[in-house]
């Protein structure tokens, strides 16, 4: 079945440092890929998405590129802020018909001033 | 626009007791989801509704879990009796489109109900 593997946290960075959170997936066909973010005490929010190979999703300074050859969708940001501290979930939606979403285990990011 | 509303936010019960969670989706959203999120894990789908019909309940432990979505709006998820292993965050989400569409339809999540079973 479909699965998502993302790097374990927590990840602790200083403000303005570069961020990369690795995500790889296993799926049949051509899934859509997502990053969700969960701020403390809040529900998950869609951060960005990519629906086909080589697409780049971007939002709030975050980027991720759909790499079919490496089955990866790594999340990157050039300069993190304290307000980026949250848990980040990589997810995929299976292709065809109803697109059931499979989530990774989440990576906690803590940004210190 | 109001988001997905869930209540209660926290619930502590003893094992073998019943518990219920309530969800009010975003107005106009046809599809409603219940997820369970164990500590340190991602959300796992329990049940999905299209309007008032449960179209995917394959992951719902039917011996103790039940759900309903009367009139295709609010939904209630019940556990009876609760077990220690049911301690988790129960998330409700909604999306604006019905199933069978070719494009992914973004799911909007509520803040969740954190259940602790003692």
Q: Do A98 and B100 touch (CB under 8 A)?
A: yes
Give the pLDDT confidence of A23-81 residue by residue, as tens digits: 999 998 889 999 999 998 888 999 999 988 999 999 999 999 999 999 999 999 999 99
Q: What is the pLDDT, as a whole number, of residue B97? A: 65
Taking residues B26-32, report their average pLDDT.
92
| Residues of chain B with C-beta less than 8 angstroms from the C-beta of A27 | none
Is residue B12 packed enough to be buried (19+ CB in 10 Å), middle (13-18) or exposed (0-12)? exposed
Q: Which range is least confidently modeled, A44-53, A96-105, B88-97?
A: A96-105
Any A CB within 8 A of B42 CB = yes
Q: What is the pLDDT, as a whole number, of residue A96? A: 65
Q: Do B42 and A104 touch (CB under 8 A)?
A: yes
Task: Tell me how far apart the alpha carbons of residues B104 and A52 are, in angstroms, rounded to a whole number.
Answer: 12
pLDDT at A90 over 80: yes
Q: What is the pLDDT, as a whole number, of residue B102? A: 47
Q: Do A43 and B112 touch (CB under 8 A)?
A: yes
């Amino acid at each position: 079945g479909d699965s998502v593997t993302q790097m374990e946290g927590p990840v602790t960075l200083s403000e303005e440092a570069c961020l990369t959170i690795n995500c790889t997936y296993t799926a049949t066909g051509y899934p859509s890929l997502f990053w969700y973010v969960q701020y403390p005490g809040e529900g998950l929010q869609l951060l960005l998405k990519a629906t086909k190979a080589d697409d780049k999703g971007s939002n709030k300074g975050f980027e991720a590129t759909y790499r079919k050859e490496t089955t990866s969708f790594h999340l990157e940001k050039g300069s993190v802020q304290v307000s980026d501290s949250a848990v980040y979930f990589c997810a995929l939606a299976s292709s065809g018909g109803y697109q059931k979403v499979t989530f990774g285990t989440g990576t906690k990011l803590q940004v210190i001033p | 626009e109001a988001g997905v509303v869930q209540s209660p936010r926290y619930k502590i019960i003893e094992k073998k007791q019943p518990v219920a969670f309530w969800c009010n989706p975003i107005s106009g959203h046809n599809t409603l989801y219940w997820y369970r999120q164990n500590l340190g894990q991602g959300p796992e789908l329990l049940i999905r509704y299209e309007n008032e019909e449960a179209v995917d309940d394959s992951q719902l432990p039917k011996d103790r879990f039940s759900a309903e979505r009367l009139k295709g709006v609010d939904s209630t998820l019940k556990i009876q009796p609760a077990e220690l292993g049911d301690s988790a965050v129960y998330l409700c989400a909604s999306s604006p489109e019905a199933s069978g569409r070719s494009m992914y339809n973004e799911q909007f999540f509520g803040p969740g109900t954190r259940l602790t079973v003692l």
